Amino acid sequence: MTVIHNIRVNLKTQKIFCRAGFGRYSKIRPKMEILIFELLEKVNKNNVLDTAVAYEIYPITDMTWRKLALQSNVGTQAMSEAEKVAVVVCTIGSRLEELITGYFNHGEPLRGVLLDGIANAAVDSLNEKACGFIKDEASLQGCQASSPINPGMPGLPIKVQRQLVEMVPALEIGVRVTSSGVIFPRKSVSLVIGIGQNMKTWKTNEICAHCNLNDICAYKYV
């Protein structure tokens, strides 16, 4: 099992603005951009991003994965060509979320919203970095890696999140699933990536097109 800490993430202003819920094509006003830069400086200065990734690669024949595949039905489509599967959990920790809550509690909702956008953008970037780690692992094995599937996407019900977290050393990066089934810290994600000779990859808009939230999601195609 592999655990990686202190992963540098890429935080772009437009992505932050969009992930704060303002829409992909919304124009950032100068004052808003200044505020984003101010918040980014605070994030970096106070070292509140506690980025970490934990993952494990399982053969498809492994009993644990076969049980998970049977419940999720994930192997019927995206993973149909996989020889192995990587289970990954990513987190940026809880410190940034505490800072966000502080802004809302002290009557500064705009700062809270923009900081939440920074947090979401950081999770997105970390997710991409984690996919890169698995792609490198697959390459070393003479294989390819598929695009990731997250719980809640078609073929992988949200209810399997607990099982995914249990399949990696998640406690080593401070991640757990609560009794109500919620991942904690909230700014954490779990994902599944297929590894094989001819793995399918897809673009973000292709994922969005098959998502149940496609018509109402504020973040699609980002």
Domains of the chain: 2-209 (3.40.109.40)
Under the banding of pLDDT at 50, 70 and 90, the label for residue 64 is low
β-strands 144-145, 188-196 pairing: antiparallel
Query: For a pLDDT cut of 90, what percent of the chain falls above it?
Result: 61
pLDDT at 76 over 60: no
What are the respective helix, strand and coil percentages of the chain, to the nearest 5? 45, 15, 35
Over pLDDT 70: what percentage of the chain? 82
* Distance, CA of 53 to CA of 161 (rounded, Å): 15
Q: What is the mean pLDDT of residues 101-127?
A: 96
Closest among 53, 41, 31 to 99, alpha carbons compared: 41
Q: In whole angstroms, what is the distance from residue 44 CA to residue 131 CA? A: 24
Residue 217 has pLDDT above 70, yes or no: no
| Contacts of 3 by beta carbon, 8 Å cutoff, 6+ apart | 52, 53, 54, 169, 172, 173
For the cut 60, the answer to whether the pLDDT of residue 220 exceeds it is: no
Q: Considering only 19-23, 25-29, 93-97, 190-194, which range has the smallest mean pLDDT?
A: 25-29
70-79, 123-132, 172-181 — which is least confidently predicted? 70-79
User: Does residue 194 contact residue 82 with C-beta atoms inside 8 Å?
Assistant: yes
Q: Is residue 205 scored above 70 in pLDDT?
A: no
CB contact at 8 A, 84 and 58 = yes
pLDDT digits (tens, 9 = 90+) for 30-56: 899 999 999 999 999 999 999 999 999
Q: What is the pLDDT of residue 180?
A: 86
pTM: 0.88
Mean pLDDT, residues 107-120: 96
- Confidence tier at 166 by pLDDT (50, 70, 90): very high
Task: Tell me the three state secondary structure of residue 89.
Answer: strand
Q: How far apart are CA 9 and CA 218, in angstroms?
A: 22
Answer yes or no: is pLDDT of 221 > 60.
Answer: no
Predicted confidence band of residue 187 (pLDDT cuts 50, 70, 90) = very high
Task: Grade residue 165 by pLDDT with cuts at 50, 70 and 90.
Answer: very high
The answer to whether the CB of 15 falls within 8 A of the CB of 124 is yes
